[in-house]
Homo-oligomer: A and B are copies of this chain.
């Protein structure tokens, strides 16, 4: 899961001297941070270290990443006029540091490990832009979506363009898997998802087909959204702990892979409780080769390292990596 590094002392030492965005702007440092979880824990893939707001900051939006609060915009995007602040992304000019990080990571990565590139999905990005910050209710976002479907369409279209361009550039730079994080999409009803979100996410996955890389489509709280999310795209669907993996797999169909879904807060408990919960995830996946064991969402910074190390060992023991 993204942000796995947060629990590592070697990451925290770097963060004492550099803020998150500063790291992303220094490709050598950023490649190092990207590789830390793999080196320390022996996980099977590295995920690009970046913020989901990175491409939006790169096209000029004034976003701060606030400790414990996440992205904050002093001027939210809510009106016709605000749309002008969203220009197309030109990856070579706008995010050269991301592409260079990917190239550096690939040089250092052994052939049996994959580098996962990623982007926030249009809905999740829109929610930060419209709310101006993280939200529990997504009130402003839904207000715009229900009241101004025309404006919503233009906002989502522009975001989808930025995301598709950003992910394609990551694939060209060497990312071997692309993950689309629609972290907050679970606040919507299936009907609202299908009308106001699915077309834009589907467009991104369609445009990525030309690059012939596997894709992961992730969300939280996506109980009854799994089937329409799978329709939008993604060779693998990422789910949180709220959905049993067997039920999730039934919803998305056997031809998709599935990623998940240990509750990351389980890892704050004692090892026997972690082991039991991890074995349950593996049982529900039924040993099928399309399962990517993962947490259901981001890692808590206070997660004991020992639990993480033992978890990786346990999963490798029960569900060996298949080529």
Q: Which residues in A have some Cβ–Cβ distance to B below 8 Å?
A: 134, 136-139, 142-143, 146-147, 186-192, 221, 223-225, 241-244, 247, 263, 265-266, 268-270, 273, 277, 280, 300
Contacts and interface: CB of A to CB of B under 8 A. Distances in A.
A244 B225 CA distance: 10
A263 to B, nearest CB: 6
Given A186-B242, A190-B244, A242-B186, A265 B223 contact: no
Contact of A224 (B146, B189, B191, B244): B244
A269 B147 contact: yes
Contacts of A187: 242
Given A186-B242, A224-B242, A191 B280 contact: yes
Given A139-B300, A189-B242, A263-B192, A146 B223 contact: no
A277 B223 contact: no
A263 B188 CA distance: 8
Helix, strand, loop or mixed for chain A's interface? helix
A58 to B, nearest CB: 28
Contacts of A137: 265
Contacts of A186: 221, 242
A265 B139 contact: yes
Contacts of A191: 244, 277, 280
A241 B223 CA distance: 12
A134 B223 CA distance: 23
A280 B194 CA distance: 14
B269 A242 contact: no
Contacts of A188: 242
Q: Which of A189, A221, A243: most chain B CB closer than 10 A?
A: A189
Contacts of A189: 241-242, 244, 263, 277
Contacts of A190: 242, 244
Contacts of A142: 263, 265-266, 268-269
Contacts of A270: 146-147
A143 B247 contact: no
